[in-house]
Amino acid sequence: MEQIEKRILKLRKQLQHWEYLYYSEATPEVTDSEYDLVMAELRMLEAKRPDLLTIDSPSQRIGGQAQKKFRRVHHDFPMLSLDNVFEEAGFLLFDKRVRKKLNHDKDITYCCELKLDGLAVSLLYDNGKLIRAATRGDGTIGEDITANVRTIRTIPLQLKDHGNLPKIMEIRGEVFMSKAGFLHLNETAKREGYKVFVNPRNAAAGSLRQLNPEITAKRPLMFYCYGVGLIKEGKLPKSHWECLQQLKAWELPVSNQICRCIGSVAVLNFYWKIKKLRSLLEFDIDGLVIKVDSLALQQHLGFTARSPRWAIAYKFPVQEQLTR
Ligand SMILES: NC(=O)n1nc(-c2ccco2)nc1N
């Protein structure tokens, strides 16, 4: 391998690591100017040798010119919606139905996640490289928003390979905006005479559906994974909770507020705990998503036409919206 190629690979690895520490761990290892200096050297070398340019290079986060419209994407596995419950009795009925269907009189182990109030997206990785991102759309057909998603710094363009990466893997998760990011965006928009967004969810959706990725790149978007869709030539752990830990090991962002609860009482305790914490969180949530943890039991339960039988959204009461 030539010297320049070695240098380019070394700089990319270094920048990817620094980016992960800065955006996902919030523990920067270098100053911005040190980061910028190394990025400038990488861009200069890639300009010298465009044949060595690859889409997963950190220099390629903000793509080319704006698109005229979004291409359509067909989801191999439909991105279904979740059934909702609004009080304890509703969740207990869900738990009872699950145990009945599984002929399971013991406690079910559930994986409980925060229900992020943003936009569901699908990320397709090939050999660990992000090759496509799409909105949920109607669940079967979404929009190709790859250029915009690549600007979200916490989404790795190249997964950290420990030798167990599936060849093809579709990651599903939620793109959202923090409350602080939303308020700052609206203050700037107001000051500069642009339209303001009604809430962080609309701001995230509007930012993702920008035809010009340079605008998206300036928006404070966040992302957390919550599942895996299509997977080829690879295998995942047998429980949803362990899958999420594996995604974290590949340096994909996963919320740390995920609880594995054994039985319905433990789920309800977690629900009331998060309900108390809700206003302190840096982002909006509108409930919990409670999933049967065992993937084998999920498979056994299957789906209705609309939604998985192994998951439920247990919603919080509606909170007054931030519109300042
Ligand atoms: N919105 C959200 O936070 N979600 N949505 C799911 C989901 C939708 C379908 C299967 O899982 N999971 C989480 N945490």
| Percent above pLDDT 70 for the chain | 98
Cα–Cα distances (Å) from 187 to 180, 184, 206, 210, 320, in that order, read: 11, 5, 16, 19, 19
Active site residue 100: no
pLDDT at 324 > cutoff 80: no
Q: What confidence tens digit (pLDDT) does each residue in 76-118 have?
A: 999 999 999 999 999 999 999 999 999 999 999 999 999 999 9
What's the sign of the alpha-carbon dihedral 241, 247, 248, 249?
positive
150: which residues sit within 8 A by CB, 6+ positions away?
Answer: 60, 61, 62, 63, 130, 133, 157, 213
Q: Report the candidate in 60, 73, 47 with the shortest Cα–Cα distance to residue 217.
A: 60
Closest approach atom of ligand 1 to CA 117:
1
Q: Which of 48, 100, 115, 275 is catalytic?
A: 115
pLDDT at res. 5? 97
Reported ipTM: the value is 0.98
Name the DSSP letter for residue 103: T
Give the whole-angstrom CA distance, residue 109 versus residue 192. 51
Cα 139 to ligand 1 centre (Å): 13
User: What is the pLDDT averaged over residues 202-230?
Assistant: 95
Closest approach atom of ligand 1 to CA 227:
11
Classify the phi-psi angles of 172: left when phi > 0, otherwise alpha if psi is within -120 to 50, otherwise beta: beta
Binding residues: 32-36, 81-82, 113, 136, 174, 291, 315
**Beta-ladder partners of 84:** 313
253: which residues sit within 8 A by CB, 6+ positions away?
Answer: 24, 154, 155, 173, 222, 223, 224, 225
Element (H, E) at 244: helix 240-249
Whether residue 75 has its Cβ less than 6 Å from ligand 1: no
